[in-house]
């Protein structure tokens, strides 16, 4: 084979290899595609009750679980959590995004988990493309939507009496203008009703504006759980328990 033929063969192989690489890149990028964000807030009392943890005076307000892109997780396993990058946010993080089960000294493990599982995927969006932006935006959305205050204004407070899922969801829809998703723990043995554990408010990917959590004709996805072994699922129509906080002994 002459030199010209050899060069032609090598170029052909190079082009073929580049083609495979481009195709692989497109395939891999598709793995981490997502369409909406979910601001997930959980009720501390439910977290403590389900894992049978003797939480010490858990917050009596809704706290952040995370800001989750749908349908994807752990997009960049090499992008590790660095507490120094969010040190300016720590006072707010400790108040509104606490690790209810491990209040100290391991609270940063919860934030590490949320960043590495969800934040590295949310970082596809410019507004969330650093740890400080991701946690800062999550806190800003939490303050703006102000779920705890909204529920109080609606007269919905933790109670020994039951609420109806339909009434609760309708009330939130009237305030926010979009349909949220409620997640409950199923009744345990000896219990009559499900227990409210988590509320999800969904946002657009591009500009983080409120949107319905499900599209027309779309079936609600099952709950993703709290990442703590909790068996949350979409609340079934009917009554549910919104448990009042219990005082713990010091």
Q: What token pair was written down for 19?
A: 């083609």
**Residue 249 counted as domain residue:** no
**Residue 192 counted as domain residue:** yes
Contact by Cβ (8 Å): 44, 248: no
CB atoms inside a 10 Å sphere around CB 131: 22
**Same domain for 39 and 143?**
yes
| pLDDT tens per residue, range 106-149 | 679 999 999 999 999 999 999 999 999 999 999 999 999 999 99
The answer, yes or no, to whether residue 64 has pLDDT greater than 90, is: yes
DSSP state of 247: -
The pTM assigned to this predicted structure is 0.82
Burial of 202 (0-12, 13-18, 19+ CB in 10 A): buried
**Residue 246 counted as domain residue:** no
Residue 114 appears among annotated catalytic residues = yes
User: Residue 7 sits in which domain range?
Assistant: 1-31
The answer, yes or no, to whether residue 52 has pLDDT greater than 60, is: yes
Point out the catalytic residue in the list 50, 116, 118, 200: 118
**Same domain for 53 and 24?**
no
Point out the catalytic residue in the list 42, 49, 50, 65: 65
**Same domain for 51 and 21?**
no
| pLDDT tens per residue, range 91-110 | 999 999 999 887 666 679 99
Q: How many domains does the chain have?
A: 2
Residue 65 appears among annotated catalytic residues = yes
**Residue 224 counted as domain residue:** yes
**Same domain for 134 and 100?**
yes
Contact by Cβ (8 Å): 136, 115: no
Residue 200 appears among annotated catalytic residues = no
| pLDDT tens per residue, range 12-50 | 444 444 443 333 333 344 577 899 999 999 999 998 877
User: How sure is the predictor about 202, in pLDDT bands with cuts at 50, 70 and 90?
Assistant: very high
**Which range in 30-34, 52-56, 118-122, 243-247 is most confidently predicted, on average pLDDT?**
118-122
**Residue 200 counted as domain residue:** yes
CATH number at residue 138: 3.90.730.10
**Residue 247 counted as domain residue:** no
Q: What mean pLDDT is predicted for residues 73-85?
A: 96
Point out the catalytic residue in the list 45, 49, 50, 114: 114
**Same domain for 202 and 86?**
yes
**Same domain for 93 and 186?**
yes
**Same domain for 10 and 41?**
no
């Amino acid at each position: 084979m002459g030199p010209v033929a050899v060069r032609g063969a090598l170029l052909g192989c190079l082009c073929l290899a580049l083609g495979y690489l481009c195709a692989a890149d497109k395939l891999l990028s598709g793995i981490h595609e997502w369409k909406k964000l979910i601001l997930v807030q959980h009720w501390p009392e439910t977290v403590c009750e389900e894992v049978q943890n003797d939480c010490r005076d858990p917050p009596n307000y809704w706290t952040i679980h995370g800001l989750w892109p749908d349908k994807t997780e752990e997009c960049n396993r090499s992008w590790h959590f660095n507490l120094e990058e969010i040190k300016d946010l720590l006072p707010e993080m400790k108040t509104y995004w606490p690790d209810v089960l491990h209040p100290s000294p391991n609270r940063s493990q919860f934030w590490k988990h949320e960043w590495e599982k969800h934040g590295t995927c949310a970082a596809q969006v410019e507004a969330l493309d650093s740890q400080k932006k991701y946690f800062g935006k999550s806190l800003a959305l939490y303050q703006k939507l102000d779920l705890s205050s909204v529920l109080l204004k609606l007269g919905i407070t933790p109670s020994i009496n039951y609420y109806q899922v339909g009434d609760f969801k309708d009330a939130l829809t009237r305030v926010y203008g979009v349909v949220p998703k409620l997640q409950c723990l199923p009744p345990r043995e000896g219990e009559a009703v499900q227990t409210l554990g988590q509320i999800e408010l969904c946002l657009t990917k591009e500009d983080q504006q409120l949107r319905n959590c499900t599209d027309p004709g779309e079936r609600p996805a099952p709950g993703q759980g709290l990442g703590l072994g909790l068996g949350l699922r979409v609340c079934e129509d009917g009554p549910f328990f919104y448990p009042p906080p219990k005082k713990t002994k010091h």
